[in-house]
Every structure is written in structure tokens, then in C-alpha cells.
Amino acid sequence: MGQALSCGAADEHGLFAAVQRGDSDAVAAALLKDSSLIRRTTVYHRHSLLHIAAANGQIEMLSILLERCVNVDVLNRYKQTPLMLAAMHGKLSCLDKLIEAGANILMFEGVNGRTCLHYAAYYGHSDCLLALLAAAQTSSVSSSWGFPRFVNVRDRKGATPLHLAARQRRARCVHILLDSGGLVCASTHGYGYGYGYRLSNSTPLHMAAKGGCLDCVRELLAWGADRRQQDASGRIPYAIALRHRNGACAALLNPSSSEPLVWPSPLKFMTELNQEAKALLEKALMEANREREKAIFKKTSYSMPSPSPSDDNMSEWFLTSQANDADLCCICFDQTCTIEVGGCGHRMCAQCTLAVCCHNKPKPASYPEPVCPFCRRTIVRIAVAEPRNSWNSFSEGSSNSSFKGLSAATAASFRRMPSGGSDDIIDIEK
């Protein structure tokens, strides 16, 4: 559907065309002459003046009409509201104005039974998606539907906004919906792939496999999507990707390949994360999975654009860390400490924090609470670590004081020698 909404040829007063092009003077003059024109609709689609203004992003015109219009949720022929058309066409300013005027974000249209959230996700308008999710958290949604139900609302075929975003290759929208509580393994009950080929019990991962968006597949796998879950025809996402010749996606979805690291979203402390810390952990998660992908793609004809850091530049990592007065993680001796555990104050790099808190496949009912590897206290909160001036402060209060004096130059000189027996020999170069 295009970004402009046609008015049709049956506008004898030129009113619809004036609204479409934003001619406020012409519209004001017409309404002053005959106030009943505010209720006029186009002949076939039954678009009101509000529909046309919202779909075409005419925010000034929309404001003028809202001052004179009683029903902000007026319906067209397909039972679509002006808010739905604003979400469909990505007109954020009009969407915000309609929400401010009291537009109902819980209404369903008449063709596919979709909400404004479905439209924003399907057409990939992430800014509108965020605005609708924010409105759902502050409006009457919490007292009627509840926010989780709104995020996972289903259309007539059982598709959630996450299904539609994955099917349409909208990776940013997929991430936003997952981060807002979208159910990664929700199943449809009859969603069609087209060409007369219909499947039910399809997950968002099935949709992403069909769409062929590698970033969507990555996001869904990182949030715990099950590669072995079958649709009603017994097909797993891997089979769908092969059918549609999406080879790179098929390589990641192959059940015989290694499992990805999964974001531990069900854990209580993950909802209490400092946003900056959360961003660091998400980046570490994706980097860890990229390393896994390189090993998978190495066995196929696909290759990753950016190689991983080699052992040759390891010294540069240490020297850079020392120059920046940053602490090296006492678990991996590789990354700088960026995450601090609330309560005990011990520090780790984002990769090691993620390893402590993550599981390959999430089973929320059986999740043990993660514990600090230094003092064994339960981790209930983590935040971004403030920079310190020396290494000695890292292990303060922990039993790992033997690592305190390790300098960047010394750490960089460690190398592993080939072993002639069963034990490895660690040698320090002069």
C-alpha cells in the first residue's frame, strides 16, 4: 500500500483533495459554509476526512479536523480507524496526535482482525511501534487487556505482531517486540504463506525462515526460539528456509548445528537492568553468537563479513585496556570489566556476565537464580561499572587477590606451548 491515500474521483466539492494536500484554508472555508461536510466520506472506501489526513501525514489538517470531529475512531469500509492508517503509513506525528485525542488502540479492523500494532509491525514503522507500546503502558490497557496481552494480540489467523514483523523482514520491529514481552514461540492457527500453501501452528521463527531475513532469525534464536518446533504439517523452520532457498538462514536453523546463546529474559533481575548495562549485555550476546555463526558458515558456502580478533592482536587488547585505566576481567583475562553486580560490587566483562546468567534453551520454570562467581551471592541486579584507576580495586573483597598484580604487559606475554604429555605447559616469555 502506498504512502499516499487516494481520495477518488467522486469529490464534487474538492474537499477530500484539499485535505490530502493540506490546504487548510480551503477546508476551513468549506466547513464554515457547511459544517455537515465533516461527516462526508469517499464513495467506495468510505474514508473520512480524518482517515485521509492521518494517512497522508497532514498533522495541521488533522488538528483542525479533530477540533470539529466528535468521533476520533470513525470507521471506513474495512472498519479501519484513522489511527490504524497512521500506523500503516508510518505517520508518527499524526499517530501521536490521535492518541492524544483519545483514539482507541485496542480496536480490530474488519478484514484480517488486526490492530494498529499489527500494522506498525507489518510495515516496519519502528517509531510508531514504540509510540503505541508506550501508550499501552500508560493508558487504560493496563486495567482492561493488560500490557502483555496487547503486545501479543492475535489477528483472525492467530498471528501476533511478532509473526508479521518476522515474516516481513522487519528486524528492528522484531527486536522491539521481543524486548517488550513478545512470545517468541507463539503459534498461529492458519496463517498462510501464499500461493495456496497454508500452514498453521507456525512460530515467528517459521515466518523469519520463510522471509529469509538473517537478522530476524538471529534475534529470535537469541531470545530462545525453538529450532525444532514443528508446524501443523510437521515442518521445522529449517525445512521452510530450505524450501524458499534461504541458505544462510537454513545454516543457522539446522538442528545439527550448535545451539546459540540465549538472552535470559525470564530472570527477575533482567527486568531491573540498568539500560546501559542491558545494551552492553545484548551486544555481548550477539558477538558471542556471531562467533558461533562463523564456525557454522565456515562449513558452508557462506562467510561472515567481519573476522574475529586473532591471537596476534591480543596484546593490543591488553595495552588498550591498561591505557584507558580499565580493569581486565579476572575470569577471561580478555575483555575489560564493564558490568558490576549489585550488592557485592564484583565486576566482570559483559561476555562473562552473560555466560553466568545465560542458558542455551530457556525453561523459565526451572531457571536457577544466577550467582556471583566470586562470592556466590545471588545476582539480583547488575549495572554499568564505573571506571577505576587500577586493577587492584577489581578483586577487592573477593578471594581472587592473586590476580591483583597482573599487568597488561605480563598478561599479553602469556602463551600456551605444545605439550609433550598430558599436561599443558604455560611459559612466560622473557
Per residue in 322-370, pLDDT (tens digit) is 444 457 888 888 778 888 888 888 998 888 888 888 766 545 445 567 8
pLDDT, one tens digit per residue, over 103-113 is 999 999 999 99
pLDDT, one tens digit per residue, over 179-225 is 999 999 899 986 554 433 455 889 999 999 999 999 999 999 999 89
The answer to whether residue 275 scores a pLDDT higher than 60 is yes
Q: What angle do CA 199, 202, 203 make, to 5 degrees?
A: 165
Question: In which band, very low, low, confident or very high, does the pLDDT at 409 lie, cut at 50, 70 and 90?
Answer: very low
Q: What angle do CA 245, 283, 160 make, to 5 degrees?
A: 55
Q: What is the DSSP string of 186-205?
A: ---SS-B-STT-B-SS--HH
d(CA 143, CA 125): 27
Alpha helical stretches, state H, 234-273: 237-243, 247-253
Q: How high is the pLDDT of residue 305?
A: 43
Give the start-end residues of each E strand in 13-166.
none
Q: How high is the pLDDT of residue 267?
A: 61
**Mean of pLDDT values over 297-326:** 49
d(CA 27, CA 8): 17
d(CA 273, CA 281): 10
Position 192, amino acid = G
Q: What angle, rounded to 10 degrees, do the helices at 126-138 and 171-179 form?
A: 20
Helix (H) or strand (E) holding 15: helix 15-21
The answer to whether 92 and 131 are in contact (CB under 8 A) is yes
- Lowest average pLDDT, out of 123-127, 128-132, 252-256, 309-313, goes to 309-313
Strand order of the sheet with strand 347-348? 347-348, 339-341, 382-384
Domains of the chain (ranges; CATH) run 268-428 (3.30.40.10)
Residue of 36 and 415 predicted with greater confidence = 36
Which 8-state DSSP code applies to residue 13? Answer: T
The answer to whether residue 250 scores a pLDDT higher than 90 is yes
C-alpha cell, 239:
525445512
Question: In which band, very low, low, confident or very high, does the pLDDT at 407 lie, cut at 50, 70 and 90?
Answer: very low
Q: Other C-beta atoms within 10 Å of 325: how many?
A: 11
Question: In which band, very low, low, confident or very high, does the pLDDT at 102 lie, cut at 50, 70 and 90?
Answer: very high
Helix (H) or strand (E) holding 409: helix 408-412
The answer to whether residue 304 scores a pLDDT higher than 60 is no
Residue of 405 and 228 predicted with greater confidence = 228
The percent helix, strand, coil of the chain (3-state, each to 5) is 45, 5, 50
Q: How high is the pLDDT of residue 62?
A: 94
d(CA 105, CA 84): 8
pLDDT, one tens digit per residue, over 134-153 is 999 987 887 888 999 999 99
| Percent above pLDDT 90 for the chain | 44
The answer to whether residue 412 scores a pLDDT higher than 50 is no
Residue of 346 and 95 predicted with greater confidence = 95
Compute the mean pLDDT over every residue in the chain, rounded to the nearest whole number: 79
pTM (predicted TM-score): 0.77
Which 8-state DSSP code applies to residue 360? Answer: S
Q: Please, which residues have CB within 8 angstroms of residue 109's CB and are 6 or more apart in sequence?
A: 78, 79, 80, 81, 84, 115
